[in-house]
A and B are shown apart, each in its own frame.
Chain A
Amino acid sequence: MRRSAVFNTVATIAVSLLFGAAVVAFMGHSPLEAYRELLKGAFWGRFNFGGTLERFVPLLLTALAFAVSSKVAVFNVGVEGELYLGAIAAAWVGVAAAGLPMVFHIPLCLVVAMIAGSLWAAIPGALKACWRVNEVCVTILANYVAIYITSYLVGYPLSAGTGVPQTKALTATARLARILPPSRANVGLFIALAALLFTWWLVHRSTWGYRMRAVGDNPGYAEHVGIRARSTMIWGMMISGALGGLAGAIEVMGIYGYFLDNFSPGIAFDGMLAALIARNDIRLVPLLAFFLAALKAGALGMERFTGIPKSLVDAIIAMFILLAAMEGLFLLRRRAKGKEA
């Protein structure tokens, strides 16, 4: 079963790339050349490979955030808002706590960002757990609220006072070191990988994760065996929010060096796609996050050198999602056909 899941993912990737090739050929370009440029754009040289990595980090973290909340049966569309709040919190600490040595300053920024994200995520979690308010509606709307809050903060109290709506630059003690200059890839990569390992351990090897999965799969069962469904759901959401906040912090501390109004082009939604395609399997999440990151990074190079619009990559991703969803359908059908004895 495990092996077939990996196989399915790889096969799905292959078919959607073939589909992309057909589209390229139809437009009168050479598919081979397009993919060569795409690959080069994603992996060739420090700058390009770094570009893939810098996209990989927030995708991985936001995908993890989504996957974790799904373990407690919450469909958390609000990771984008958590990312924004985490980002502005990190920016605030990064500027305001100047003078701290780096070993304290960086962790402090990260922790405050995670707290901001988790508190924000606790709201829809509590609404759902206690009053059964639909979390999808709440989190979608909460995204707007969160983004406007950051817009206000960056426009007034935290503004750098220049014409651009951005905060002051973080002090050097709050910056994450670059690892592949001239790209913006940074040590946030290692923080993200550590978060991946921790999340896997948390979900599959800790008593907390055990409770989360028990509640998410069958709340009636959880109640029966004495696991509190409500509080478990709420702090499941808070862990999810913390991961979203962490993603935002790394963007600010590693990529930009300040908080810029509206800086995220929907990173968390791409992360959500990665998690959905991986069916929230934490072991598959990094694979898909990396694949999406490489496609997005490579698309720039492809457009530059072949003239094929980079939105081709979006078509490939869409195809990929369609195939993944179909695979889910087949699975359902097979289950309906071949269940029980």
Chain B
Amino acid sequence: MTEPIVTMEAIVKNFPNVRAVDGGRFDLWSGEVHALIGENGAGKSTMMKTLYGLYEPEEGRITVRGRTFETLTPTEAIALGIGMVHQEFMLVRELTVLENVILGFEPRKGGGRIDFDEAEARVRRFVDDYGLHIRLHKKVNEISVGEAQRVEIIKALYRGADILILDEPTAVLTPQETSRLFEILRTLKADGKSIVFITHKLREVMALSDRVTVMRQGRHIATLEASATSIPELARLMVGRDVFLGVQPSNRHGSGEPVLTVEDIYVPGDKELSKLRGVSLELRRGEVLGVAGIDGNGQSELVEAIAGLRPVEKGRILLQGREIQNRTPLEVRAAGLAHIPEDRNQRGLNRSMSIEENLIATVFRKRPLSLGPMLVPAALRRFAERLIAAFDIRPPRPEVAVANLSGGNAQKVVVAREIDADADVLLAAQPTRGVDVGSIENIRRELVRACEKGTAILLVSADLEEILSLSDRIAVMYEGKITGFLEAGEADEETLGLFMTGGAVRA
């Protein structure tokens, strides 16, 4: 083992108006887990997509197993044993797991027919060897996110990969699923596979990796032994300055009068009736109530029901004493609610519109932004520039289309719009999901500030650390019910984890 299995040197990749990677450097030893970290837009994914052949770099060399390339195609990369698990899964939802795995590489038998028995035997081998636990004959649209990810891993292995690139694999997983993924990755490593692990979650880096490469603004900053570094050092290298993620709750008082009361509501899910069965909670002025739970236990339905985006079958929702269940989103907003939706691309933003047009979405009807039917461009510009400055949205140009922003800055647009509404109640669903460290810090600080100004916040997050560091009280959801309320002081990840899996029901 004298030579790295992969070496990338002096990589330069330009996108229109942006130099995404500028002199990128990376090497991978056989049998190691190498974490590639950096803020959103630091060029991590771009680096790895050039290795997998999805992008052609303008400059630089890529050496894989002693062969040097200027550019690769995905076909060449696969032939070299490189596999990639993307951030968005590339699966055909209407096909079964097995069909997805073998797609494009089907074993054949006579007459051009697919040999499904042979295929299943081959795939089964990977499933058993690495403890991947998936159901091969389920359709992809019936399986969970964690399972879909394991399908992607098998797909790469099936194609002969022994260099595995995982692009932010834990962004979509619960803590339990994450630790399961780590088990799988350790088994793979023990089997001699080399793994590149793109992330911006530093604790995962420390838990899993042998070495760490830090990128910032497209540049290589450092490559370190994981055992010889620390989370604060990595955070500083990533952001370029010291950061504090645990915003300390300052002089807050969660003892105000209740502003939002949910009384025993039943709410349908996408595929079933009564996904929520009898949820009640009370949110008081000036407090942050965290809602923890494994994704898919009804948190999304709870938030959407309150926001007027989902019907309520039974029960009442009171905002400042007024019933708001089964009202339109516009009426609910008028009653004093703001909402950071969990999916910024589906709901939170109009990607083809500009930053400015997204920021004005809930207020464009009011003076001075519009006079009757007439939008007032100068007033819109002033409004947008104020929010862009206040929330540090980059680039600070109101006319830029949101589609061109990094995840963190796009999320800041949503957060800015919703916090600026100065509502009585703010629903914050996954406010920092898929966002870089610098933006996380920024968004959390803004949430706390809004809370101090008197907004009551219902915070739903898959990130337990976020729940623990921001909430005054914590409600845990499991299978459509709230299984317990905890005061911030008495909660830690372990107790929460227990409630989240239904382990200790005390209603």
Name A residues whose Cβ lies closer than 8 Å to a Cβ of B: 205-208, 210, 213-214, 217-218, 220-228, 337-338, 340-341
Contact B329 A224 (CB under 8 A): yes
Q: How far is the CA of A225 from the CA of B332 in the complex (A)?
A: 10
Q: How far is the CA of A217 from the CA of B346 in the complex (A)?
A: 11
Question: Shortest beta-carbon distance, A120 to chain B, in Å?
Answer: 24
Question: Shortest beta-carbon distance, A200 to chain B, in Å?
Answer: 13
Contact B333 A217 (CB under 8 A): no
Mostly, the A contact residues are: helix
Chain A to chain B: the 4 pairs with minimum beta-carbon distance, closest first: A226-B330, A225-B361, A224-B347, A341-B20
Which A residue's beta carbon lies closest to that of B46?
A341
Which B residue's beta carbon lies closest to that of A336?
B54
Which of B241-249, B264-272, B372-380, B493-501 lines the interface with chain A?
B372-380
Chain B residues near A220: list those with CB within 8 A.
346-347
* B24 at interface, CB cutoff 8 A: no
Contact B329 A217 (CB under 8 A): no
* Given contact pairs A207-B365, A217-B352, A220-B346, A226 touches B328 in the complex (Cβ within 8 A): yes
Chain B residues near A226: list those with CB within 8 A.
328-330, 333, 362
Residue of A206, A213, A224 with most chain B CB atoms under a 10 A cut-off = A224
Name B residues whose Cβ lies closer than 8 Å to a Cβ of A: 15-16, 18, 20, 40-41, 43, 45-46, 54-55, 307, 309, 328-330, 333, 339, 341, 346-353, 357, 360-362, 364-365, 370, 373-375, 377, 406
With A217-B350, A218-B350 known, 8 other A-B pairs at CB within 8 A are: A207-B364, A210-B360, A210-B364, A213-B357, A218-B351, A221-B346, A226-B328, A226-B329
Which A residue's beta carbon lies closest to that of B401?
A1
Contact A338 B351 (CB under 8 A): no
Chain B residues near A224: list those with CB within 8 A.
307, 309, 329, 339, 341, 347-348
* Given contact pairs A206-B375, A213-B353, A223-B329, A341 touches B362 in the complex (Cβ within 8 A): no
Chain A residues near B341: list those with CB within 8 A.
224
Chain B residues near A210: list those with CB within 8 A.
357, 360, 364, 375
Chain A residues near B364: list those with CB within 8 A.
207, 210
Chain B residues near A218: list those with CB within 8 A.
346, 349-352
Which B residue's beta carbon lies closest to that of A201?
B374
Q: How far is the CA of A221 from the CA of B406 in the complex (A)?
A: 19
Name B348's contact: one of A217, A221, A341 (CB within 8 Å). Answer: A221
Name A207's contact: one of B43, B55, B370 (CB within 8 Å). Answer: B370
Chain B residues near A341: list those with CB within 8 A.
15, 18, 20, 40-41, 43, 45-46, 406
Question: Shortest beta-carbon distance, B416 to chain A, in Å?
Answer: 13
Residue of A207, A210, A227, A341 with most chain B CB atoms under a 10 A cut-off = A341
Q: How far is the CA of A338 from the CA of B56 in the complex (A)?
A: 9
Name B375's contact: one of A205, A217, A227 (CB within 8 Å). Answer: A205
Contact B346 A207 (CB under 8 A): no
Q: How far is the CA of A341 from the CA of B362 in the complex (A)?
A: 29
Question: Shortest beta-carbon distance, A337 to chain B, in Å?
Answer: 7
Question: Shortest beta-carbon distance, A232 to chain B, in Å?
Answer: 12
Chain A residues near B333: list those with CB within 8 A.
226
Which A residue's beta carbon lies closest to that of B403?
A339
Contact A225 B309 (CB under 8 A): no
Q: How far is the CA of A337 from the CA of B375 in the complex (A)?
A: 37
Chain A residues near B360: list those with CB within 8 A.
210
Name B349's contact: one of A205, A213, A221, A228 (CB within 8 Å). Answer: A221
Contact A338 B16 (CB under 8 A): yes
Q: How far is the CA of A225 from the CA of B363 in the complex (A)?
A: 9
Q: How far is the CA of A340 from the CA of B330 in the complex (A)?
A: 33
Question: Shortest beta-carbon distance, B363 to chain A, in Å?
Answer: 10
Contact B55 A337 (CB under 8 A): yes
17 contacts between A and B (CB under 8 A): A206-B375, A210-B360, A213-B357, A217-B351, A217-B352, A220-B346, A221-B346, A223-B347, A224-B348, A226-B329, A226-B362, A227-B361, A228-B328, A228-B330, A340-B46, A341-B18, A341-B406
Q: How far is the CA of A222 from the CA of B350 in the complex (A)?
A: 8
Question: Shortest beta-carbon distance, A147 to chain B, in Å?
Answer: 34
Which A residue's beta carbon lies closest to that of B347?
A224
Q: How far is the CA of A223 from the CA of B41 in the complex (A)?
A: 30
Chain B residues near A223: list those with CB within 8 A.
309, 329, 347
Residue of A208, A214, A218, A225 with most chain B CB atoms under a 10 A cut-off = A225
Question: Shortest beta-carbon distance, B381 to chain A, in Å?
Answer: 13
Q: How far is the CA of A227 from the CA of B357 in the complex (A)?
A: 14
Contact A206 B353 (CB under 8 A): no
Which B residue's beta carbon lies closest to that of A214?
B350
Q: How far is the CA of A229 from the CA of B337 in the complex (A)?
A: 20
Which A residue's beta carbon lies closest to that of B352?
A217
Name B374's contact: one of A206, A227, A228, A340 (CB within 8 Å). Answer: A206
Q: How far is the CA of A341 from the CA of B409 in the complex (A)?
A: 13
Q: How far is the CA of A227 from the CA of B330 in the complex (A)?
A: 7
Chain A residues near B339: list those with CB within 8 A.
224
Question: Shortest beta-carbon distance, B427 to chain A, in Å?
Answer: 11
Question: Shortest beta-carbon distance, A28 to chain B, in Å?
Answer: 47
Question: Shortest beta-carbon distance, A230 to chain B, in Å?
Answer: 11
Question: Shortest beta-carbon distance, A2 to chain B, in Å?
Answer: 11
Which B residue's beta carbon lies closest to that of A334?
B16
Q: How far is the CA of A338 from the CA of B362 in the complex (A)?
A: 32
Name B15's contact: one of A205, A214, A217, A338 (CB within 8 Å). Answer: A338
Q: How far is the CA of A186 from the CA of B322 in the complex (A)?
A: 60
* Given contact pairs A223-B309, A224-B341, A341-B20, A207 touches B375 in the complex (Cβ within 8 A): yes
Residue of B18, B43, B350, B365 with most chain A CB atoms under a 10 A cut-off = B350
Contact A340 B375 (CB under 8 A): no
Q: How far is the CA of A213 from the CA of B41 in the complex (A)?
A: 28
Q: How far is the CA of A311 from the CA of B55 in the complex (A)?
A: 45
Which B residue's beta carbon lies closest to that of A213?
B353
Contact B373 A206 (CB under 8 A): yes
Chain A residues near B375: list those with CB within 8 A.
205-207, 210
Contact A207 B361 (CB under 8 A): no
Chain B residues near A228: list those with CB within 8 A.
328, 330
Chain A residues near B18: list those with CB within 8 A.
341
Contact B347 A221 (CB under 8 A): yes
Q: How far is the CA of A338 from the CA of B21 in the complex (A)?
A: 13
Q: How far is the CA of A218 from the CA of B349 in the complex (A)?
A: 8
* Given contact pairs A223-B329, A228-B328, A208 touches B373 in the complex (Cβ within 8 A): yes
Which A residue's beta carbon lies closest to that of B330?
A226
Question: Shortest beta-carbon distance, A16 to chain B, in Å?
Answer: 27
Question: Shortest beta-carbon distance, A269 to chain B, in Å?
Answer: 27
